[in-house]
Amino acid sequence: MVRSLGVMTGTSVDAIDVALCAISNLEQNPTIELERFVSVDYSEQTLYLIHRAISNQALVSELSDLQFELSNDYYRAIIETINGIDHKSILCIGAHGQTIWHNPPHSTFQILNGSALAQQTNIPVVHDFRSADIALGGQGAPLVPLFDFTFFAHPTINRAVLNIGGMSNLTILPANSTEDQILAFDCGPGNVLIDIASKATFGKKFDDEGKIARAGQSIQPLLERLQSLEYFSKPPPKSTGRELFNEEFAKKCIDKFAHPSAPSEDVVATFTELTAWCIADHVTRFGSMCTELICSGGGTKNTYLMERIAHYLPEIKVLHSDSIGFPSQAKEAMCFAFLAARTMFKLHGNMPSVTGASRKAVLGTVSTP
């Protein structure tokens, strides 16, 4: 058994999630147990620099500062998580970093100073998980599917596993499948457009439980324009991010298609409907055999969004990952604890059938204290 920490900050930029996991039998029939989970807010300075970076406004000096500010925030969250635990009992930290640019198959940038974090914690840090896959011609994402395959695949049930973060990503797990039979990709937006619309119309960071969207109606011309985006019809392998689904894009759509007299709730309702539709459409096209959709991520707190996904998938049982022993909010952090441990044992972390990479690869850069 080894202990590994996973630290995840996603495109929603909502919190720093840290999972302390106990992992056994890494090479054959692995098991994973969540020992502790903590979710911590970013510092104001880090949050300011992240938003500067993802909106392409950051200076080189600010990007340089951001990698250290984020490492400091990670350190604060990690210390809170492992308080009272002997640091020497922890094999490694898997730190995803903050995605500020993702342009596969050319480049990707998850900012973090892993060396600084390793010195602060006195624990080896695995970071920069996506570059090796990109270098092999892959998308560099999604990286969760190996975790999904390992812990969610079932011998007799066809499953799809969905994570709704800033973006939504989907893993299709046919019953009794092998690793090279797995299909996974980003469907498109998860929380990102809903959050942007909530802030633009109501000044709120997010639509709590989908209450705003529930009070509105979809603006049909806007919804149809969004549904026609080329990304949705592209076949896998594919991944996306704020390079496409961002504040500038959302505001242009709102200005063009939302009449000034339309209720503000309708704007949030439209982006919520788009998100539900794009998820369900990908399940229908690529996982039509599935009878279960297992959901995790911050988007599962949006009960209206979950209802709309279920509406589009009446023949599929929509479940939260909590119901099968994987806390929804902790799942991605657990994944990077798992991937980091694999890296330390020189085991591959990508799935070429998913990313399009030319071969399997050990992922990440290891910074030692």
- The number of angstroms, rounded, from the C-alpha of 341 to the middle of its chain's C-alpha atoms is 19
Per-residue model confidence (pLDDT) at position 243: 87
Q: How far, in Å, CA of 286 to CA of 21, rounded? A: 32
Domain CATH number, residue 57: 3.30.420.40
Phi, psi of 296 (to 5 degrees): -145, 175
In a shared domain, residues 160 and 264: yes
Phi, psi of 203 (to 5 degrees): 70, 20
In a shared domain, residues 278 and 347: no
In a shared domain, residues 7 and 113: yes
In a shared domain, residues 127 and 197: no
In a shared domain, residues 334 and 306: no
pTM of the model: 0.93
**In tens digits, what is the pLDDT along the chain, a chain of 369 residues?**
999 999 999 888 889 999 999 999 998 899 999 999 999 999 999 999 999 999 899 999 999 999 999 999 999 999 999 999 999 999 999 999 999 999 888 999 999 999 999 999 999 999 999 999 999 999 999 999 999 999 999 999 999 999 999 999 999 999 999 999 999 999 999 999 999 999 999 999 999 999 999 999 999 999 999 999 999 999 999 999 888 999 999 989 888 888 787 899 999 999 999 999 999 999 999 999 999 999 999 999 999 999 999 999 999 999 999 999 999 999 999 999 999 999 999 999 999 999 999 999 999 999 999
In a shared domain, residues 87 and 193: no
In a shared domain, residues 205 and 337: no
Per-residue model confidence (pLDDT) at position 368: 97
Integer angstrom CA distances of residue 90 from 76, 85, 204, 219, 277 = 17, 9, 39, 51, 42
Q: Which domain holds residue 89?
A: 2-142+329-367
CB 313 within 8 A of CB 283: yes
In a shared domain, residues 308 and 339: no
In a shared domain, residues 128 and 34: yes
* Residue 129 included in any domain: yes
* Residue 276 included in any domain: yes
In a shared domain, residues 109 and 160: no
What's the domain count of the chain? 2
* Residue 19 included in any domain: yes
Q: Which residue has the tokens 């990698």?
A: 67
* Residue 322 included in any domain: no
* Residue 320 included in any domain: no
